[in-house]
Amino acid sequence: MKNILKLFFLSVVLTLTSCEDFLDKTPLDEVSEDSFYSTPSDLQAAVNGWYNDLSGWSSIAVGWSVLPDMYSDLGTSEDPNTRLSGLNYSVPTSASGSVWSFDEVRETNWLLAHVDQASGDQTLIDQYTGETYFFRAYYYFELLKRYGAVPIFPEYFDNYDDEYVYASRDPRNEVADFIISDLDKAISLMQSFPEVETSRLSKEAAQLLKARVALYEGTWERYHNGTDFGVAGSDGSTFLQTAANAAEDLIDSGVFTLYSDYKTLFNQTGYAGNSEVLLWRDYNSIELGLDNALQQRWPNKSGYTKFAIDSYLCIDGDPISVSTKYQGNTDLATIEIDRDPRLAATIMVPGDLMEVKSDGTEVYWEYPDFNSTYTNLTGYESEKYRNPIFDDNYGDFTEDTSRIIMRYAEALLIFAEAKAELGSISQADLDKSINLLRARVGMPNMILGGITTDPNWPNYGYTLTDILYEVRRERSVELMAEGFREDDLYRWRAHSLFDGDQPRGAYLEDGIVNTTLSAADANVDSEGFLLPFASTGDYNFDETRAYLYPLPSDELQLNPNLTQNPGW
């Protein structure tokens, strides 16, 4: 395994989460122990490169960057031939052709083995040590989601240590426990926001990741119970309680609150001082050469599905299937009327502001263009993340819009879902979580015992309580296109929701009539809604194996103690 230390140029003062440039990669075990890791600044430099692995907008040469969740049931980007559709991947022959890698874990272990030699400001030493534990947890969580059971490497080792070189896979619940243990260490060591340096990891970020990991594993064990992917004898309750407690700790700390305006939350340049954002990535194309390519080529081949749009309630709090407020879905010009305002903040409809030119001229969106190089194919184009201000520095839209990595709303959703799964949720719990999200956008409170039954509840392949159906709906609309959906589908074992189906788009007629898409060229379903991938076929998800990635075949040959994932 290769060992890489990612170091940023230390001569440039950068916002840490925005940095993309780093020094030539150096094997950790070739760095002189006498000349490095002796000061807090050395530790900081070692940790900085890992920030680069947190989520952000891709800066790519083709000029466009796909929205998150566009390879799920909520959105599409070109042909959705991914894990959710097509299963076009097979067992890789080598680790180099897969994501089976412990390089970053090895890096974090190396640094943890050397932090004790640093002297100086102990608060800073603790902060960077805590960040190292955070990142080891972060990398292990990515491995857990992809492979389930993986070997746990709690310390640095070389290629001659047979105990680790030929380690077997540890049970996934033990891996999750290891991750949570690392995050507990991070929580105990890192500074609280806002004492920590701006845009750096904080105690609260570790609390949120702990809640996220515990919710993932708890619901995974619950809904995969009795399958080849489950944990024998576990219904996930212990992890679900951990998730609820971690989220509640963050909520009760009072450090973060919801930002006042959902619509403008996602198109800001810099989040310093924002009450909701725990962690973000900045961009500056001119000074740093880091650009947010998302802004340049709307709609970025990204389109929401009809299922996503239908998920939004009406303003009376009832689903569209029963609400008297519902205006229908055959006209984009009226589809947002009397609906949850988060819908209007998410999709473009005729009359929405599309661009403010440098002379102040305003350009408004009329209809989806199906003939653009960057077109979406569903007709439901994204308003979320759109920054309409023309920037003379680029002769186009700004490339500096920041990307939220962690925000407080997720903690509220985790708390409500974990409590609902445990069957212990109360009205007070809803009032300190879900109902805060609803109040922000002017939606009525969720009332325990008073939830309107939806005759069109999503078919997860099993029945849920009304409160769980509604909490999952709330999560879907609040976090739309933020990159959570694929993980949600896997942990919920929700293949029945999409398998054998295909993504649908907007109604072909009203609201799309003057576009470059003619009725003769369009594929539609029996009700007149677009079928952008009719020629490709339905989602084809093999639930006997596709919930986890396959291990590379050469790894199984090199290490006879490893076993392959189910179905591969």
Which pLDDT belongs to residue 419?
Answer: 98
> 3-class SS at 347?
strand
Chain centroid to CA 457: 24
Chain centroid to CA 331: 31
Kindly report the backbone phi and psi dihedral angles of residue 284, in degrees, each rounded to the nearest multiple of 5, phi listed first: -155, 100
**Other CB atoms within 10 A of residue 454 CB:** 17
**DSSP secondary structure string for all residues of 42-69:** HHHHHHHGGGGGS------TTS--PPTT
Helices (H), 49-171: 103-112, 122-147, 162-165
pLDDT along the chain (568 residues), means of 10: 29 31 36 72 94 78 76 82 63 85 95 95 97 98 97 91 93 98 98 85 97 98 97 96 98 97 94 94 79 77 95 98 96 96 97 91 90 84 91 78 94 98 98 98 97 97 97 98 96 94 85 61 87 82 92 95 96
Distance from C-alpha of 228 to C-alpha of 148, rounded to nearest angstrom: 11
The answer to whether 515 and 508 are in contact (CB under 8 A) is no
Helices (H), 459-505: 466-478, 485-491
CATH class for the domain made up of 1-65+101-190: mainly alpha
> 3-class SS at 447?
coil
Q: What is the CA radius of gyration of the chain?
A: 24
Residue 430 gets which letter from DSSP? Answer: H
Kindly report the backbone phi and psi dihedral angles of residue 530, in degrees, each rounded to the nearest multiple of 5, phi listed first: -60, 140
Distance from C-alpha of 68 to C-alpha of 487, rounded to nearest angstrom: 12
Distance from C-alpha of 209 to C-alpha of 246, rounded to nearest angstrom: 9
CB proximity list for 187: less than 8 A, separation 6 or greater: 130, 203, 206, 207, 210
CB proximity list for 28: less than 8 A, separation 6 or greater: 3, 4, 5, 106, 107, 110, 111
Distance from C-alpha of 166 to C-alpha of 554, rounded to nearest angstrom: 13
Domain ranges of the chain: 1-65+101-190, 66-99+283-401+498-568, 406-497
